[in-house]
Structure 1
Amino acid sequence: MKQQRRARAIAMTPDEVDAFLAEQRTCRVATVGSTGPHATPLWFVWQDGALWLTSLSRSQRWTDLQNDPRIAVVVDAGEDYGELRGVELRGRVEVVGEVPRTGEPVPELDGPEQAFADKYSGGTVVRDGRHAWLRLLPEKITSWDFRKIGS
């Protein structure tokens, strides 16, 4: 993975990135399609160094990613300048499991599906036959925490 070169003074440590991504609920996903960039909010799970996304398999985002798996994802928080913090993850996604997801046994998805269910649906795993799983193993992570300015 490429190391962050700029703004290292305000970069989060790996443990801070893990904690931040565990507590946040919404990310913004950017893909590139034939008509240009496309950005959408999604729910996500950060687990074992991978960002797990569940996406409608009949969506512009899905089409874009099937044609070009490169993705940029931003998770950010804060209102005032001095409290802004966030993480940008870049890389290529891969599909994990059947498309759409209906519940075939996929041991690789046991952890992410349960973590997603715990985070968003009271612990109940939902497989609606419309969504499928994408895994991003980031090639580059950039982070910032403006609370570190002046520290």
Structure 2
Amino acid sequence: MTAPKPQRRARKIAMTPEEVTAFLDAERTCRVATNGVNGPHATPLWYLWDGEALWLTSLSRSQRWADLQRDPRIAVVVDAGHDYTELRGVELRGSVEVVGEVPRTGEPNPELERVEQAFAARYTGDQVVIDGRHAWLRLRPEKITSWDFRKM
């Protein structure tokens, strides 16, 4: 896997890789932007960051899924803060890949086993939910940009 491109702008307020991981582990919702036929399409999703990849579970019969089948490029933002001096966040960019069957029916998949367990621990009280409507996407970011205005 290729390492993400280094951040070139706003390096003074950029998070360290450890701060990025801690931030992504603490927050729960991301905003996913895809390239739709009629322009950008942005939607909120739960996610899992494993330190190298961002895992998303998406309805396989959705506008987002259709967009990503046509064009797998994606931008994902996780942000937090209320006042200007509290704002912080991470943007991850790259192309997603489908992992596992579509939709997910529970076929054995060692790669998804750890992801589904971690996702369940984070969001569903340790219960892995396989509903036959969602499928997994993995984003190995080509670029990560972060900001933490508390560093100003």
> Considering the TM-score relative to the shorter chain, is it more than 0.5?
yes
1:55 and 1:23 map into 2 onto residues whose CA distance is 21
1:119 to 117, 122, 141: 122
Q: Does residue 50 in structure 1 map to residue 48 in structure 2?
A: no
Please give the alpha-carbon distance, in whole angstroms, between the structure 1 residues aligned to 2:57 and 2:36. Answer: 19
SS at match of 2:120: helix
Match of 1:138 in 2: 141
Q: How far is 1:33 from its partner?
A: 1.5
| Equivalent residue number for residue 147 of structure 1 | 150
* Aligned match of 2:80: 77
Write the distance in 2 (CA, Å) between the matches of 1:102 and 1:73. Answer: 26
What is the deviation of 1:48? 3.2
Q: Which amino acid aligns with 1:45?
A: L
1:67 is the counterpart of 2:70? yes
Say whether residues 1:33 and 2:62 are aligned partners.
Answer: no
For residues 36 and 108 of structure 2, the distance between their equivalents in structure 1, rounded to whole angstroms, comes to: 32
Which letter does structure 2 place at the counterpart of 1:69? P
The corresponding residue for 2:101 is: 98
How big is the shift at 1:142? 0.1
Task: Output the TM-score relative to the length of structure 2.
Answer: 0.97
Work out the number of aligned pairs and report it: 149
Give the gaps of 5 or more residues in structure 2. Answer: none
- Partners of 2:16 and 2:36 in 1: how far apart? 33
Q: With structure 1 as the length reference, what TM-score do the two structures score?
A: 0.98
Aligned-partner Cα distance in 1 for 2:120–2:34: 25
**Structure 1 segments (4+ residues) deviating >2 Å:** none
Report the AA paired with residue 37 of structure 2. Answer: S
AA aligned opposite 2:132: G
Deviation at 1:112, TM superposition (A): 1.1
Identity of aligned residues (%): 78
